[in-house]
Amino acid sequence: MYRAEPVTQRDGSSLANSNCLMAAAAVGLDFHTLGDKTSTGAKMRSYSGDTSGGTNTDEIERAWKNGYSEDPVTRDGNPWSKVLEDLAAKRLVMLQVWHATVGGPCLSGSGAYGHGMCVAPESRTSDGNKEWLVADPWCNPPKWSWVRESKLKAGAEKWVATARAAANVSGPTWPLIIAAAIRLMERFGPDHPATFELPEVGGPGVLFASTKPQPGADDVAINTNGSRIVTARRVKLTAETGFYKEASLDTKYGTLASGSVREFIGPALGENSMAILVNTSKPYSDGTDRPTIVYVTKDKCGEPYQVEDDVIKARDAEWRAWLSGDADAPDK
């Protein structure tokens, strides 16, 4: 997984305290182009056409297009589920939040202001809580930090609720909501947070933009395309367990019975999971079962053990014949 360099908004430029979303856009550009194009909050601001106050997704679009001939994917008004969908598709998300609700990673004062940050498509589960890798532009020096998904969701929804209240609308009138969000960012920021909170006005939707998906994937269910994976190890499940798309055990495909024996691929590095081989149609839209590498909880697996496999024995016999110079050995 390519990881973009985090960018701080606090670069000494004249609009540094208002450049959170522009600095987030710089991180997004890095990810979008896999490092071929990079920027800063100040440079993004110069290409955005906005010379004062807060910014929004329109400024990301203009800055990317004018400065770098790239196009982000605007998602303003989509529900939180679309954020998760984009992250699952290996897109980086440039998300707008109410900073106090998220609680950081780098908070100024009370955090009572709208804020832009980046959420990378890298996650983990810590103490039973899903966390995403976040670059908060207020951090100086810049860094990546793990933030709970529940905090990001609450912060994104709180920001839109605050903007709805400021716009005095309750329906999905997004141009008014976005305009109100810009005015709020101009009025309140890290150097002058709000001293009060507007009443919340409910309704779905959050404000964000996304990059294109990163090619490839890490630790996801792998279709073997019908090929015979030859493994001499097996593992017996000691309890009923789910089997999952990712090594982080987030997307459940189904359940395997206690006592079943599975072909063992290996432990997932840095995770509490094991990779095994199952025949399943779950990841595929055509409903066809295929040999697929999936993941199960490590503590529900017995000790992996060696087995005699006819395919392996035949392969090894061919190798021995070839090594011994047997004229009839296949050309390996």
Domains held by the chain: number: 2
Q: Is 147 within the bounds of a domain?
A: yes
Report yes or no: 301 and 235 within 8 Å, Cβ to Cβ. yes
Instruction: Return the HEC string of 65-110.
Output: HHHHCCCCEECCCCCHHHHHHHHHCCCCEEEEEEHHHHCCCCCCCC
Say yes or no: 253 and 181 in one domain.
no
Distance in angstroms (rounded) separating the CA atoms of residues 8 and 17: 10
Say yes or no: 74 and 200 in one domain.
yes
Three-state DSSP state, 175: helix
**pLDDT > 70: what percent of the chain?**
86
Tens digits of residue pLDDT in 112-166:
899 999 999 999 988 889 999 999 999 999 999 999 999 999 999 998 888 888 8
Distance in angstroms (rounded) separating the CA atoms of residues 57 and 46: 15
Between 283 and 275, name the one with better pLDDT. 275
Distance in angstroms (rounded) separating the CA atoms of residues 10 and 42: 9
**Strands 261-267 vs 233-236: parallel, antiparallel or unpaired:** antiparallel
Q: What is the pLDDT of residue 314?
A: 65
Say yes or no: 134 and 199 in one domain.
yes
Structure tokens at 292: 């697929």
Nearest to 44 by CA among 76, 82, 72, 2: 72
Q: Does a cis peptide bond (omega within 30 degrees of 0) precede residue 193?
A: no
Compute and round to an integer the Cα radius of gyration of the chain: 25
Q: Partners of 261 in the beta sheet?
A: 236
Say yes or no: 39 and 178 in one domain.
yes
Say yes or no: 71 and 34 in one domain.
yes
Q: What DSSP character marks residue 128?
A: T
Write the DSSP string, 251-290.
SEEEEE-TT-EEEEEEEPTTSSEEEEEEEE-TT-TT---E
Say yes or no: 206 and 232 in one domain.
no
**pLDDT > 90: what percent of the chain?**
49
Say yes or no: 178 and 100 in one domain.
yes
Consecutive H or E run containing 200: none
Say yes or no: 56 and 136 in one domain.
yes
Q: Which domain holds residue 66?
A: 16-210
Say yes or no: 168 and 232 in one domain.
no
What CATH number does residue 228 fall under? 2.30.30.40
What CATH number does residue 160 fall under? 3.90.70.10
Mean pLDDT of 61-82: 94
Say yes or no: 114 and 243 in one domain.
no
Say yes or no: 247 and 126 in one domain.
no
Say yes or no: 235 and 200 in one domain.
no
Distance in angstroms (rounded) separating the CA atoms of residues 61 and 76: 12
Mean pLDDT of 285-305: 87
